[in-house]
Structure 1
Amino acid sequence: MSYLVSRAALILSSALLVAPAFAQDAPLLTVEVQDKSRSYDLSSLKALGEAEVETTTIWTEGVHRFTGVPLATLLADAGIGTGAGSEGAIAATAINDYSISIPLDEIQPEVPIVAYWMDGEEMSVRDKGPLWIVFPYDSAEQYRTEVIYSQSIWQLDRISVTETE
């Protein structure tokens, strides 16, 4: 009996390794504003408009091309204002419940992006996917700080609005 259980576990784990990072219509991200929430699948994220960032990261080797949607565009679609004069912050949370905070007034129209592809490929959970907040680290020194690195959360699956302290 234990041989059958071990064999089944091996087959299942092998299937998970070769499975796509996410299904086209599976919810990838939930954005919560007050008592409302909105879920986004890959199609709805793509419909918001694509942006690309080519950069190195401290977590990967070489230059990579990240494709996704600007965080400001995503938040605007969910009814959250960003940029100068915006009050509050977002809590961005990963699938393992790791959470970071990004002040709304620091989110620029095109930076950062919520990346769903790296080098034209889906990112598996093992490869920091399926969603990763990415800044253009190589474009300016302001994107190479501990604060920015800490805001570059991968395996993102939830965003909610929080109050500033």
Structure 2
Amino acid sequence: MYALGRAVLILLFLAIPPCQAESPPLPSPAGKVVLTISGQISNKNHDNDAVFDMNMLAALPQHTIATRTPWLPGISRFTGPYLQDVLNLVGAKGRTLKAIALNDYKTDIPLDDAARYQVVLARLLNGKPMPVRDKGPLFIVYPYDSQPALRSEIYYNRSAWQLKSLQVE
């Protein structure tokens, strides 16, 4: 009888799914907030939003895209975290990102673009912070030169500069 009871307990234990690991809590920004992410996110640090200062974004793994754009001469180097890493950090679940710039320009970006194209949330242009007058402080940049399809109005229009917020829908 003991063996049967033990076997039942083992089967019950195996049938219970393991707990899902939660994302580590986001720290609170110490400096000026430069990015607010809202909507369908699970990891928040300010009311129903995830907010970031520049140091928080700089602390994430950094990546550089060297590419031509229609807005700048020659090849430019854009450095910042992958947009996908930022979205993973906040637990984004949805289909679309609505990017909103300081001048209220809005563009919709399919959520899966972030991973598919290794989009960078650029905070540096050619190694230097971007002031607002030069498309900063944040700029969503695709690796335009990596695929001919990315050199089109579709992807140029998704590339919001002076980014202030992302809404996950």
Instruction: Quote the offset at 1:48 in angstroms.
Output: 1.9
Distance 2:38 2:75 in 1: 33
Q: Which residue of 2 aligns with 1:38?
A: 50
Distance 2:117 2:148 in 1: 17
Instruction: Quote the offset at 1:47 in angstroms.
Output: 1.7
Q: Which residue of 1 aligns with 2:98?
A: 91
Q: TM-score, normalised by structure 1?
A: 0.76
Instruction: Quote the offset at 1:130 in angstroms.
Output: 0.5
| Counterpart AA for 1:56 | R
Distance 1:127 1:26 in 2: 19
User: How is 1:7-156 mapped onto 2 (pairs within 5 angstroms)?
Assistant: 25-34=31-40, 36-81=48-93, 87-108=94-115, 111-156=118-163
Name structure 2 gaps, 5 residues minimum: 1-29, 41-46
Name structure 1 gaps, 5 residues minimum: 1-23, 82-86
Instruction: Quote the offset at 1:122 in angstroms.
Output: 0.8
SS at match of 2:112: helix
- Would you say the 8 A contact 2:113–2:119 is kept in 1? no
Distance 1:118 1:28 in 2: 16
Distance 2:117 2:108 in 1: 18
| Counterpart AA for 1:144 | R
Instruction: Quote the offset at 1:118 in angstroms.
Output: 0.3
- How many aligned positions are there? 134
Larger Rg: 2
Distance 1:110 1:46 in 2: 21
Distance 1:49 1:151 in 2: 23
| Counterpart AA for 2:33 | P
Q: Percent identity?
A: 39
Aligned-CA RMSD value = 1.7
| Counterpart AA for 1:101 | D
- Would you say the 8 A contact 2:99–2:106 is kept in 1? yes
Q: TM-score, normalised by structure 2?
A: 0.74
SS at match of 1:39: strand
- Would you say the 8 A contact 1:72–1:110 is kept in 2? no
Deviating 4+ runs (over 4 angstroms) = none
- Would you say the 8 A contact 2:61–2:81 is kept in 1? yes
Deviations 1:117-151 (A, max 9, x none): 00111111110000000111111112111110000
- Would you say the 8 A contact 1:67–1:115 is kept in 2? yes
